[in-house]
Structure 1
């Protein structure tokens, strides 16, 4: 099903660009086709799809964060293990955001695209970007209903966090009941995201067809630059940084590690879902890297919930691409605001296909950037989201091996540095 949707999205992307490019090349600029097809049908179809994504934002963020906080109650049982795992996941995300901002500032994806927003709406929203101080002060809402109605994401995040903490402080039976309720609600939200993203081929076609009919060559080139920048940064994490971390901790050489993790990476690319990859990640850690089941059983589900280095990279570069494409320059305070907001939203990103594109829309709204820019992000989402998911789950492996080494919960390596020995069972260097 997922692979079928991926093929359909790719086909829709190509078809939309070809048809839109043909309209731009052969149709009159102010003719019937531009007026009724491009600015009518294509615009309406794309807008409906984006609105459906925006519809999910507030309930998705609140429910997923409460569920994530409730899932951390095992930390009291795992002691040092939980604290170390939690801290390393947060550090990993912070580093990813910092590097992404630095590279995006250097490369400036989207610069020169010169996209426009009709009716000056962008100029109005731009004035609303808060300073970091105001952001922190206003994170505590005075009216929760107003926060939900206005879509104030940081206030919603705050309410979700304290709600999760309150649930954890209930009696055991009460905690389990309420936690189960939010777990079910989170499953419903993930299903809603999946349902909406199942319409992605149609939404992508309308969005890209309109883009192809209206964007000039420099704008198309800017989109390709954005995709290349994002994928290159994630490739650095996947094929350089994480393999070196694994080598430093376990002694497994980078090439051997990449062979061992190949099944996990292929599965992550094909499903674009951190949640769906949990069993394969667990198998890779325990059977191929020698991490104990105790560590893997705790760190892998937690990582699928909150270790989102790939998602953080995706959100930051996408947001800076939209800003550059619309001619917006962030100052230092706004960059800090971007980093802080992306950090919170990365933790809230759902582990299902398309969820990061939703949170990109949240980030654009929070920073006062035009939501119209989400059309390009959604159009290229399937490619970037797949690599983003792979980066996320590779980070789960890196953090899990570090924690296992620190806790003495990793099996000794054989001399060939490509296999581990666990009692009488030897896991060979061969790929599964």
Structure 2
């Protein structure tokens, strides 16, 4: 009987083999890095069109009336909670410095790109808005691509009020699925690519580079618990729910999120329990939760901010206030359209890392522990979406059960 090994297991095995090869053969095997570089480029090539199509389709298929008051409230909660999550990740990385202790080599040109040409806050904000969408796509300017996609999605939603443009939305969703299939295909070689990158990093820097990974996971776990406490506290105050009701309502959601590490797989259970256990009316849950899965990700934002700060510490780079602000903004916008994608954490890092001027191989170290980080990410993602639904339902008087636990 043929035994099928899950991709996550394959990646862990590839990472372990890479560690062994790097430790045993040292600099003799450093040339294997090209295999990992090819893998990262293959991931990168699908990122921009994937985000572009996903965001336009997600916004464009919403009815015009849902883009009004309810849409603004939903967007405000998504942005607000994601901003807080990114700030928590940034502060944890800045305060506890998980990447300090090792000194990875960085190309002098990249150091100059990262540290030179200080940009004012006004110039940075102006840089969010594209003058040419094709230029933004070619250069991989994530923020500009997403700004354009959001505007295009709103226009498409209004134009499609009579379903005249449904074929465009269908076409975008089909393209989106093709890009997801492409990423899945590329991820088949992830064990080899990540193993090669890890081998080259270990070969050049020794086994000490593994120590920060444990620090990173511990900090991410602490950040997750802290942020869950914030979300549950908000629910208890605004929706007048007891802690018992909150824990009862989120029990199944948390278990599914932790065991599947997938926001998409968790969505059916999330929607069922949001209505049956937490008392959210269907018209709220059916709008907020699917949209949240595609466009909102508290866990990914925290992960990306913490990861970026950790990576700068790998290379001994100091962070200015403007660079910290840029990390937070990138962590927020990179969440759009990558939450439900297989290997979403890896894809999102592939968006942010080059934008910050850091080498792509930085991703390899964190890719090896991505499954463990995925547990924390998914928990925060689904709880953040459900929290938003509860808060909006409470504000719209669409919360049925209040503080009383509901039986299945």
TM-score, length of structure 1 as denominator length: 0.85
**By how many angstroms is 1:205 displaced?**
2.3
**By how many angstroms is 1:2 displaced?**
11
Q: How does 1:75-154 map to 2 (within 5 A)?
A: 76-77=65-66, 80-118=69-107, 120-126=108-114, 127=116, 130-154=119-143
Aligned to 2:267: 278
**By how many angstroms is 1:230 displaced?**
1.9
Aligned to 1:254: 243
Is 352-361 or 395-404 further displaced after alignment? 352-361
**By how many angstroms is 1:124 displaced?**
4.2
Q: Check the 8 A contact 1:272/1:353 in 2, yes or no.
A: no
Q: 1:228 to 1:215 in 2, by over 3 A?
A: farther
**By how many angstroms is 1:301 displaced?**
0.7
**By how many angstroms is 1:46 displaced?**
1.5
Per the alignment, in what secondary structure is the counterpart of residue 346 of structure 1?
coil
**By how many angstroms is 1:255 displaced?**
5.3
Aligned to 2:317: 328
Spell out, residue by residue over 1:111-156, the C-alpha distance to the aligned partner (whole angstroms, 9 max, x if none). 23211134x3423432367443323333343443333222222332
Spell out, residue by residue over 1:216-273, the C-alpha distance to the aligned partner (whole angstroms, 9 max, x if none). 35422122222222232123223x2233333334555435533542332232234332
Q: Check the 8 A contact 1:357/1:378 in 2, yes or no.
A: yes
2:31 paired residue among 40, 53, 66 = 40
Distance 1:2 1:99 in 2: 38
Q: How does 1:219-368 map to 2 (within 5 A)?
A: 219-238=209-228, 240-254=229-243, 257-368=246-357
Structure index of larger Rg: 1
Q: 1:403 to 1:142 in 2, by over 3 A?
A: closer
Per the alignment, in what secondary structure is the counterpart of residue 200 of structure 2?
helix
Q: 1:202 to 1:349 in 2, by over 3 A?
A: same
Spell out, residue by residue over 1:340-388, the C-alpha distance to the aligned partner (whole angstroms, 9 max, x if none). 2222222343312312222222212222222221221322222212320
Q: Check the 8 A contact 1:110/1:325 in 2, yes or no.
A: yes
Q: Check the 8 A contact 1:45/1:206 in 2, yes or no.
A: yes
Q: Check the 8 A contact 1:278/1:301 in 2, yes or no.
A: yes
Unmatched runs of 5 consecutive residues or more in structure 1: 421-426
Q: Check the 8 A contact 2:267/2:290 in 1, yes or no.
A: yes
Distance 1:129 1:348 in 2: 30
Distance 2:360 2:292 in 1: 29
2:369 paired residue among 377, 380, 387 = 380
Distance 1:183 1:141 in 2: 24
Aligned to 1:10: 12
Q: Check the 8 A contact 1:2/1:271 in 2, yes or no.
A: no
Aligned to 2:382: 393
Kindly report the root-mean-square deviation, in angstroms, between the aligned alpha carbons of the 2 structures.
Answer: 2.6
Q: Check the 8 A contact 1:246/1:254 in 2, yes or no.
A: no
Q: 1:78 to 1:295 in 2, by over 3 A?
A: farther
Aligned to 1:423: none
Matched, 1:204 2:194: yes
Spell out, residue by residue over 1:44-96, the C-alpha distance to the aligned partner (whole angstroms, 9 max, x if none). 2222211111112221221222223214x336148543332222121111111
**By how many angstroms is 1:3 displaced?**
8.2
**By how many angstroms is 1:213 displaced?**
3.3
Corresponding residue pairs, total: 404
Distance 1:2 1:301 in 2: 31
Matched, 1:57 2:47: yes
Unmatched runs of 5 consecutive residues or more in structure 2: none
Per the alignment, in what secondary structure is the counterpart of residue 201 of structure 2?
helix
Q: 1:50 to 1:40 in 2, by over 3 A?
A: same
Aligned to 2:147: 158
Aligned to 1:20: 22
**By how many angstroms is 1:325 displaced?**
0.8
Q: 1:401 to 1:158 in 2, by over 3 A?
A: closer
Q: 1:367 to 1:273 in 2, by over 3 A?
A: same
**By how many angstroms is 1:107 displaced?**
1.1
Spell out, residue by residue over 1:264-322, the C-alpha distance to the aligned partner (whole angstroms, 9 max, x if none). 22322343322222111101111111111111111111111222111100110111111
